[in-house]
């Protein structure tokens, strides 16, 4: 099959369908199936190379893509990744050979709407898959737009709440301290309640806005290569006075050559959160920050001997706004349940994982697993 795209026109007002497949026989087979569709019209364009398909996708108004994964200029899952990146809101149906379904299924996990096995497809199945994929993609796009609209509305309301909350808290503190007149003991207690609750709402608003900012920044990380052990050492030094003030010992055990690629400030925020929690929820004992290299991974543990987390609460601690029931919810310093969500978001954006192992009354270990810098994989053993 030559490099010139084969354009197969059906009838007027058809569904614009792009088939990226290098086998001419498969192209004619799909054409024949779509021509037999009783209640729907198609206009099929075939491209026998990935480069040709991407060019057609950029120049034409395409409704759906039928994608073969084995092409002369691209093979396997990378074919789907390249098409998906350019497809935008155009749904993709993967066409795979029998025996290669694992790759096709992975493409569905990564954003394909459906997959079909060659040799096991008829007109009804093909048409149904195309129509389903188009409608499902429309639903996804509408839901994403609705979620984004809701998110922006909440962010706007949160921004607007900041000023009146600051004014309420400031006025209540002036009254409470007697700066603008004598107040009774009962009035002081009531004003104290107003101040505490205003602080809690302000913390909620500020932390939520912080979370939204972090989430936006993780999508556009300013990545670079840096020494993780150097950053961890600096973070630990910041927290040693806090640990000492609570009668705790903060130890570090940091390996060398822990080169990572990512956002230094963002990852520092993760370990700020984990060390802060370890100190906050420990009354006695030792807090340990350790890091080491294992194969192609960098592992970091933050270990405490504090209150620990009950088994039934462990599955929920990374959920937004979740706070463990055994904590004192009346204390605004305990947080509002976004710190670990933010930490997990940052770690996952770096291709890593955040895990926890904890027992109530025994302490917790939070583990961050990150990929070592790509260039270090190529030269393992070099420093």
pLDDT at 236 (0 to 100): 95
Give CA 74 to chain center in angstroms: 28
Q: Is residue 210 part of a domain?
A: no
Res 155: pLDDT = 79
Same domain, 276 and 306: yes
Task: Give me the pLDDT at residue 266, please.
Answer: 86
Contact 119, 101 (CB under 8 A): no
Say how many CA atoms lie within 13 Å of 36 toward its Cβ: 13
**One domain for residues 230 and 181:** no
Q: CA angle at residue 313 from 308 to 314, to 5 degrees? A: 70
Paired tokens of 73: 């200029």
Closest by alpha carbon to 350, among 250, 247, 251, 271? 271
Answer yes or no: do 81 and 228 share one domain.
no
As for how many domains the chain has, the answer is 3
Residue 129, in any domain of the structure: no
In a domain, 214, yes or no: no
- CATH code, domain carrying 99: 3.40.50.2300
Burial 179-189 (b: 16+ CB within 10 A, else e): eeeeeeeeeee
Is 317 domain-assigned? yes
State the pLDDT at residue 377. Answer: 44
Domain around 13: 6-121
Whether residue 187 is found in the same domain as residue 320? no
359 shares its domain with 288: yes
Claim to verify: residue 317 and residue 176 sit in the same structural domain: no
Chunked mean pLDDT (size 10), the chain, 383 residues: 45 84 91 90 94 92 94 91 92 89 88 92 94 93 85 82 90 90 90 90 78 65 85 94 93 91 89 93 92 92 92 83 56 61 87 91 93 59 42
pTM, rounded to two decimals: 0.53
The pLDDT of residue 218 is: 53
Residues 227 and 198 occupy one common structural domain: no
Domain match, 176 and 41 both: no
Same domain, yes or no: 162 and 302: no
CA dihedral of residues 308, 313, 318, 320 (deg, nearest 10) = -120
Residue 193 and residue 237 in one domain: no
Instruction: Give the pLDDT confidence score for residue 322 in this predicted structure.
Output: 67
């Amino acid at each position: 099959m030559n490099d010139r795209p084969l354009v197969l026109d059906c009838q007027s007002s058809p569904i614009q369908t792009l088939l990226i497949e290098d086998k001419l026989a498969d192209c004619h087979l799909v054409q024949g199936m779509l021509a037999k569709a009783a209640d729907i019209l198609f206009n099929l364009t075939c491209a026998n190379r990935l480069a040709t398909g991407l060019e057609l996708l950029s120049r034409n108004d395409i409704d759906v893509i039928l994608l073969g994964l084995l092409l002369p200029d691209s093979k396997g899952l990378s074919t789907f990744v390249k098409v998906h990146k350019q497809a935008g809101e155009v749904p993709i149906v993967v066409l795979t050979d029998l025996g290669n379904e694992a790759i096709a299924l992975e493409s569905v996990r990564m954003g394909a709407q459906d997959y079909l096995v060659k040799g096991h497809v008829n007109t009804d199945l093909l048409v149904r898959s195309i129509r389903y994929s188009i409608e499902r993609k429309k639903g996804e796009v509408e839901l994403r737009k609705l979620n984004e609209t809701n998110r922006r509305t909440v962010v706007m309301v949160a921004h607007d709440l900041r000023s009146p909350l600051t004014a309420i808290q400031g006025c209540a503190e002036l009254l409470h301290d007697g700066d603008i007149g004598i107040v009774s003991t009962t009035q002081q207690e009531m004003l104290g309640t107003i101040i505490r609750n205003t602080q809690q709402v302000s913390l909620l608003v500020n932390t939520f806005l912080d979370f939204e900012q972090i989430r936006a920044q993780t999508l556009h990380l300013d990545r670079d290569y840096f020494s993780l052990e150097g950053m961890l050492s600096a973070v630990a030094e910041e927290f040693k006075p806090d640990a000492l003030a609570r009668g705790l010992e903060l130890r570090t055990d940091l390996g060398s050559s822990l080169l990572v690629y990512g956002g230094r400030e963002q990852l520092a925020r993760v370990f700020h959160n984990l060390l802060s929690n370890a100190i906050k929820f420990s009354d006695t004992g030792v807090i340990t920050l350790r890091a080491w290299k294992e194969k192609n991974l960098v592992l970091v543990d933050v270990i405490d001997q504090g209150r620990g987390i009950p088994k039934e609460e462990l599955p929920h601690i990374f959920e937004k706004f979740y706070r463990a029931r055994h904590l004192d919810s009346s204390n605004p310093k305990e947080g509002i349940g976004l710190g670990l969500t933010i930490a997990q978001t940052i770690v996952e954006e770096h291709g890593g994982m955040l895990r926890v192992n904890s027992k109530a009354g025994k302490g917790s270990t939070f583990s961050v697993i990150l990929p070592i810098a790509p260039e270090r994989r190529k030269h393992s053993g070099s420093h």
